[in-house]
Amino acid sequence: MPREPQPFTLAVPDAAIADLRARLALTRLPDQAPGDPWAYGTSVDYLSDLVAYWRDRFDWRRQEAALNAYPQYKVPLHGIDLHFLHVPGKGPNPTPLLLMHGWPGSVFEFLDIIPRLTDPAAFGGDPADAFTVVAPSLPGYGLSFAPGQRRFDINAIADCLADLMTEVLGYRRFAAQGGDWGGFTASRLGAVHPDKLLGIHVNLLAIRRDPTMVADPTEEERRYLGELEHWLKEEMGYTWIQGTRPQTLAAALTDSPSGLAAWIAEKFHRWTDNDGRIESAVDRDRMLGNIALYWFTGCIGASFWPYYARLHGPWPIPEGTTVDVPTGYCEFPREILRPPRSLAARTYTDIRRWTVMQRGGHFAALEQPAALAAEVQAFFRALRQEGARA
């Protein structure tokens, strides 16, 4: 049986911060290839400015304090010390909500959305919509990583978090929400632990990425298959290297903070709903807080493991298996892939809410916390009302 969770406070040593600044001061940048500065990866000029800001102006202690403002815990579970936030809801009967990030994200994604979910009345909402939020650092990520620990694929992550919610925290049934690998984990939970779930809400669908999946596509399906073909050709480089040679890449990114910043910032540039500047979609300090957490914990290599498992094992939703729990979905316009409902319905058999959002991208909780929180509340509000009538 798992042991009792122990309160946790993040406190990065001053020496580690000094070491980071010293390494940033020694950054050696490449030359910029001709053409569009972002055409071949991270813009060198942007990276130069980001590294200088990180070295001289970024306040890690402020970001650390923002995380420490929420109750945090660690508990020995499935062979690791699992880190999670556990924030009580303020309402008559808060619903437990498992809130899950992905790569290259962390619990820093959730600092602005958590208050909207736990205390909706403070934002002009209904206290009856309150959730008690459990936001773990996914196993192998951030504060759920220690050198030498076992590696987790999505199947193992889902089993670990199911036990966190039921065996450790005592929630018989719970809601789940996620994007990126968090969306895959929510979907996996819906497929293999349906009895534990009230429903799932995702902003990335875990459907197979096969351009030949439809013999006679509709116009909407053709649009998606075109997006998918482009994605597989132009955007999958990070997946192939993280999924085939994770140890080699980890050596570079664990040693070089500017390299780590380039690797992650490029995804914020490509995947957010920005106007050409990352900071038009995401606060620079919050992005650097997320990158710094990867740096201070040294978790980047372990964070690649779901990609390795993805390329060397079965899809997390097994062939012939469906997700039959009530499902809600938000389609953000700058999400990496936006499958049509007709294809999603092959995997998700009980889609109750499908909303096309006006703004936002892959890091929805970070980019559009108010809009995402409202959608999560609306989806689970209907399930709560349904349960009350049953």
Please state, in angstroms and rounded to a whole number, the distance separating the CA atoms of residues 113 and 45. 32
Size of the chain in residues: 390
Which pair of structure tokens corresponds to residue 37? 């500065």
Which pair of structure tokens corresponds to residue 51? 């590294």
Which pair of structure tokens corresponds to residue 315? 């899809």
Beta strands in the chain (DSSP E): 6-7, 72-77, 80-87, 95-100, 131-136, 174-178, 197-202, 327-331, 351-356
113: buried, middle or exposed (CB in 10 Å: 19+, 13-18, 0-12)? buried
Long-range contacts of 346-350 (CB under 8 A, 24+ apart): 346/207, 346/322, 347/187, 347/205, 347/206, 347/207, 347/208, 347/317, 347/322, 347/323, 348/187, 348/190, 348/205, 348/322, 348/323, 349/322, 349/323, 349/324, 350/323, 350/324, 350/325, 350/326
- Give catalytic residue positions: 180, 307, 362
Q: Any idea what DSSP says for residue 354?
A: E
Best CA proximity match to 304, nearest among 242, 241, 384: 242
Which pair of structure tokens corresponds to residue 152? 């987790």
